[in-house]
Amino acid sequence: MRRAVASAIVAAVAIAAPALAKGGGGGQTPPVSAASAEAAMAGDIRISFDWAMTVDCTGPTVGFPITYWPAGLNGTLVLDQSRSYSIVLNFGGLGMPGWTLRWEGQLGRAPALTRGGSAELRVAGQHTLKAILHEPNNDVVFNVDADENGCRLTVEPQLHPDKTIYTLYNGDARDDFRFENCSAVRTVAATCHAQ
């Protein structure tokens, strides 16, 4: 099963080659023939992942500074042979409102609009996909690497230039309360499972 998933991700990269050639993907395309790509991508790739974190925030959910606030995010990525994908993220934390964020798009294409900003899925290597959430002050980058040895997830919150505070979407519909203002985001654990 692991080898099949790894082959399917390599195939997805190959199938995405036309989009990547136009500058939309951010990765190198391995030498996979169209026939082998189609065979490997006979079914969908499905990857589930979990990210446990702590954050230091000043609000607006809590009206005073709080440090090492525990929170967690889990999600599912589904990618099919036409390069179409869907991602569902579920977030929750101690005293925080839970929320679910969904978006769909094409691998390597322009970001899709979401309630918290925009998001996209890119190729980052022969076995690696990169999902990116673009928020006002920062990006949250999910690197998913799946091969015959298993699935590995790394999460990188990245501040934009000249920004010092992370703005993390919290699911609130009100504009003034939509983002938590956080000075630190720490990964406790990050795992994924491919099938």
Q: Which residues of 24-47 are buried (b: 16+ CB within 10 A; e: fewer)?
A: bbebebeebeeeebeebbeeebeb
Q: Mean pLDDT score of the chain, rounded to an integer?
A: 80
Q: What is each CA distance from 72 to 25, 114, 145, in whole angstroms?
A: 28, 19, 20
Report CA dihedral (99, 76, 57, 190) to the nearest 10 degrees.
150
Looking at residue 119, its pLDDT comes to 93
pTM of the model: 0.79
Q: Say how many C-beta atoms besides its own lie within 10 A of residue 94's C-beta.
A: 11
> What values do phi and psi take at 106, rounded to 5?
-115, 135
The more confidently predicted of residues 89 and 29 is: 89
Of the listed ranges 3-12, 127-136, 155-164, the one predicted with least confidence: 3-12
pLDDT at 85 over 80: yes
Q: Tell whether omega for the bond before 60 is within 30 degrees of 0, i.e. cis.
A: yes
Domain boundaries, the chain: 2-194
Each residue's pLDDT tens digit, 18-69: 444 444 444 443 433 343 334 444 568 899 999 999 999 998 877 788 899 9
Q: Which residues contact 116 (CB under 8 A, 6 or more apart)?
A: 101, 133, 135, 169, 178, 179
Q: What is the spatial distance between Cα 87 and Cα 165, in angstroms, rounded to a whole number?
A: 26
Looking at residue 33, its pLDDT comes to 39
